[in-house]
Amino acid sequence: MTTARSFGNYDLAAALADLVDNSIQANARNVWVKFDPVDNDVIVRICDDGRGMSKNVLIDAMKPASRNPKERRDSLDLGRFGWGLKSASLSQARVLTVVSWNDAGINAARWDIDNIDDWYMDMFHDADALDFLESEPLTSTGTEVIWTYCDRLYDIGLDATLDERLNEKISHARSQLSLIFHRYLSGEGGRQLSIHIQGISLAPSDPFMIAHPATQSLDGERIQIKEGEYIQVKPYVIPHFSKLTVHEQMALGGEEGLVRNQGFYVYRNMRLIIHGTWFRLVPHGELSQLTRVRIDLPNSLDDEWKITLDKSDAQLPVTLRKRLREIVKNFSKRSVGVHRRKGVDLNTIDKSPVWKRNAHNGRIRYLINRDHPIIREILADAGNPFVVSEAIRLLEACVPIDVIQNDLVANSETVVQAITDPGEFDSLIHACMLAYLRQADGKPTLSQFLAFAKQIEPFSEQWRYAESTITDKILKDWSFNDE
């Protein structure tokens, strides 16, 4: 049992997810998760309103390896190894108590890592079992999993408050569970699940933003893996970040950034197992940047995909590599299109473009617009304005026109100059703000700055994103006159 503490690669989120799997399996509509600091420990309670367990089922459930992984499972079953309840719980706590109730009564069972000689498991019935709960159960059937002595979760011995590190773990678990179970949380397949952590219900976090008008769904495909067993593959091109608000962009990019989260999203019975990997079929890079591909697996293919005990990893079956690589190749072209700006006639925009087209005496030249506020700022701020202005002339003189032309002729789709990284875009906005504050008279108002930014490239083209970045993200660091 002590060894079971190191099975899988559980963090708090993965451990909770394994228990939520069990609750879904037990037909629960609600899962309540609660962290209580008590006596230099934190007690975690994961309670559901599922069907509950009778005494004998509970005894079986507490056994290590309670099911044979080779057994064929019901097609909607989220389990595989007969370990989750034990390995997930003990990965975080030294004592696991499970209380379960239904028509037949209420029972509790407990494993204590420090008192496990001769495989001795404590059992409690009726009032003794009820004692473990904080109050009488509110539902007629259900199960509460209780973790105590959470040595992997909490520095036991510290003040019994929810310390910062634990709060961080809880907040990470919150965002992970919103993603892992987003299809259950949104009621897909007619089954509505609610997960409440510290009293707050999780909102589904859909990595494809299917409801967003700018998301493109591409043709899906059903691929046979072996006789009678199929997987479902469906690519989506998610919107370019300029079409998203900061909140939407954060939701899509998560903590790791938009780009890193592209790739395959593999679901097993609608529960997310892996995300943001291309299985080395394509490098993480610009071409496939906005593409996310949903793969739905049935649990009958667990062996082929080598699902791990903590359900947080799987391997792409060799037989599937070739087919998936072809699929990715086909739609990556399309994703590039989302990044490319529509053709603009530089001379017809009345905004501040970065480049100007200058046709004079039969000669066409592309010149950097020295009136662009950021360029103007660079020139004004330069220690040696002469060198900077010569450097700009050098850039203009050496634009690699031939190379660009060759690339455009060979495959125009592959030339992508627009900023695709939101972080880079944000720092440009910062620079623009600096320029504006320097050039403005007195302290400007927010609306004056917005009107200004809207006129200049590249914000003018990506205004929806730029505006929300300014108002939601950057504004915190600046004070405007009207605030």
Ligand X SMILES: Nc1ncnc2c1ncn2[C@@H]1O[C@H](COP(=O)(O)OP(=O)(O)OP(=O)(O)O)[C@@H](O)[C@H]1O
User: Which residues contact ligand X (rule: CB under 6 A)?
Assistant: 18, 21-23, 26, 48, 50, 53, 61, 66-67, 79-86, 143
* Nearest residue (CB) to Mg ion, 202 versus 309: 309
The piece of 22-30, 120-128, 256-264, 353-361 that touches Mg ion (CB under 5 A) is 22-30
β-partners of residue 144 are: 47, 99
For strands 291-297 and 229-237, give the pairing: antiparallel
Count of chain residues binding Mg ion (CB under 5 A): 4
Q: Show the site string, 70-89: x = touches Mg ion by CB under 5 A, - = not.
A: ---------x----x-----
Strand, coil or helix: 306: coil
Strand, coil or helix: 223: strand
Shortest CB 24 distance to ligand X, Å: 9
Shortest CB 269 distance to ligand X, Å: 12
Residue in 357, 361, 363 with CA at minimum distance from that of residue 345: 357
In the bound state, the residue with its beta carbon closest to Mg ion is 84
Query: Which of the listed partners (Mg ion, ligand X, none) does 23 bind, with a CB threshold of 5 to 8 Å by partner kind?
Result: ligand X
DSSP 336-402: HHHHSPPP--GGG--SB-SEEEEEETTEEEEEE-TTSHHHHHHHHH-SSHHHHHHHHHHHHHT--HH
* Nearest residue (CB) to Mg ion, 26 versus 218: 26
- Confirm if 292 and 252 have CB atoms less than 8 A apart: no
For strands 291-297 and 263-268, give the pairing: parallel
Shortest CB 184 distance to ligand X, Å: 15
* Nearest residue (CB) to Mg ion, 24 versus 290: 24
Report d(CA 251, CA 346) in Å as an integer: 34
Query: Which of the listed partners (ligand X, Mg ion, none) does 61 bind, with a CB threshold of 5 to 8 Å by partner kind?
Result: ligand X
450, amino acid identity: L
* Nearest residue (CB) to Mg ion, 7 versus 452: 7
* Nearest residue (CB) to ligand X, 121 versus 158: 121
Shortest CB 155 distance to ligand X, Å: 28
Residue 6's contacts (CB-CB under 8 Å, 6 or more residues apart) are 91
Shortest CB 66 distance to ligand X, Å: 5
Report d(CA 356, CA 376) in Å as an integer: 15
β-partners of residue 366 are: 357
Shortest CB 21 distance to Mg ion, Å: 5
**Which tokens in the block code for residue 57?**
């089922």
Query: Which of the listed partners (Mg ion, ligand X, none) does 456 bind, with a CB threshold of 5 to 8 Å by partner kind?
Result: none
Query: Which of the listed partners (Mg ion, ligand X, none) does 41 bind, with a CB threshold of 5 to 8 Å by partner kind?
Result: none
Report d(CA 359, CA 351) in Å as an integer: 19
Backbone angles phi, psi at 159, to 5 degrees: -55, 140
Report d(CA 454, CA 459) in Å as an integer: 6
* Nearest residue (CB) to ligand X, 46 versus 281: 46
DSSP classification of residue 254 = G
* Nearest residue (CB) to ligand X, 85 versus 273: 85
* Nearest residue (CB) to Mg ion, 145 versus 453: 145
Report d(CA 374, CA 433) in Å as an integer: 9
* Nearest residue (CB) to ligand X, 249 versus 312: 312
Query: Which of the listed partners (ligand X, Mg ion, none) does 82 bind, with a CB threshold of 5 to 8 Å by partner kind?
Result: ligand X
Report d(CA 240, CA 229) in Å as an integer: 35
Query: Which of the listed partners (Mg ion, ligand X, none) does 86 bind, with a CB threshold of 5 to 8 Å by partner kind?
Result: ligand X
Shortest CB 320 distance to Mg ion, Å: 26
* Nearest residue (CB) to ligand X, 83 versus 452: 83
Query: Which of the listed partners (Mg ion, ligand X, none) does 30 bind, with a CB threshold of 5 to 8 Å by partner kind?
Result: none
Query: Which of the listed partners (Mg ion, ligand X, none) does 339 bind, with a CB threshold of 5 to 8 Å by partner kind?
Result: none
**Which tokens in the block code for residue 197?**
């952590």
Query: Which of the listed partners (Mg ion, ligand X, none) does 67 bind, with a CB threshold of 5 to 8 Å by partner kind?
Result: ligand X
Query: Which of the listed partners (ligand X, Mg ion, none) does 436 bind, with a CB threshold of 5 to 8 Å by partner kind?
Result: none
**Which tokens in the block code for residue 71?**
């057994």
Q: Is 22 in the site for Mg ion (CB under 5 A)?
A: yes
* Omega within 30 of 0 (cis) for the link into 458: yes
Residue 298's contacts (CB-CB under 8 Å, 6 or more residues apart) are 75, 229, 230, 231, 268, 269
Shortest CB 119 distance to ligand X, Å: 16
Shortest CB 48 distance to ligand X, Å: 5
Q: How many distinct helices (H) and strands (E) make up the chain?
A: 15, 16
Shortest CB 173 distance to ligand X, Å: 18
Task: Return residues touching Mg ion (CB under 5 A).
Answer: 21-22, 79, 84
